[in-house]
Structure 1
Amino acid sequence: MKTARIQEQTLKTVIMQEHLLYILIMHDQELKTTVMQEHTQTTVTMQEQTLKTMIMQEQTLKTVIMQQKTLKITMMQEHTLKTLIMQEQELKTAVMQEQTLTTVIMQEQTLKNAIIQE
């Protein structure tokens, strides 16, 4: 009878140990799942940050490209303005030359008239 009681107690102990082992295994699995979820969340967060950084870099690049285009346009406008200034100067010179030529022609005509009258 004592042996039966010891065996029964041993069986109950084994059953309790199996139950505890099952609980530990389940808890371990939950912990592993939690760790994997945290790792996944960390990875997702890092990917989001990387994506945000890439979007900012793309926006910066677009801004730089726009600034380059604006600079090229400004340089072309500056070149056009310099060309116009040079053309204006050439035109002023031509007008002065024409006025000088007109004056010379008038003086020549005056001189011819004076010679004729003599």
Structure 2
Amino acid sequence: MAVTLLRDGEAVFPAMLEAIAAARREVLLEMYWLDDAPVARAILAAMAERARAGVPVRVLYDAIGSLGAPDSRFQELLSAGGKVVEFNPIAPWRRRFRFGWIEQRDHRKMLILDGVTAFVGA
């Protein structure tokens, strides 16, 4: 097993796109902040391409961390057969709504490919 340190976005994002393109069994993305910026769009587009190729693709993103980003950013991925789940959705109308819930967030940032390659961030 090898570990490679990628220090910044200039190193990380091209490597992520390359790894997504090479995935054959599954692509899993868990992200706190997933907006509609060019990098996020490129990652989601690459994931959609894998989904169209028959590779299972799943995204879990945090409702608060991604607040304000348009739901339309997932349309291509969903149309390609990918799955997208919002963690701890904002729903104040729920009977059991408590403001303490807002602190229960998913701060993980990881991309796992084929159960072999992983990108993790802080």
Q: TM-score, normalised by structure 2?
A: 0.15
**Larger relative contact order (CA 8 Å, sep ≥ 6):** 2
Q: Which has the larger radius of gyration?
A: 1
* Structure with the largest fraction of helix: 1
Q: TM-score, normalised by structure 1?
A: 0.16
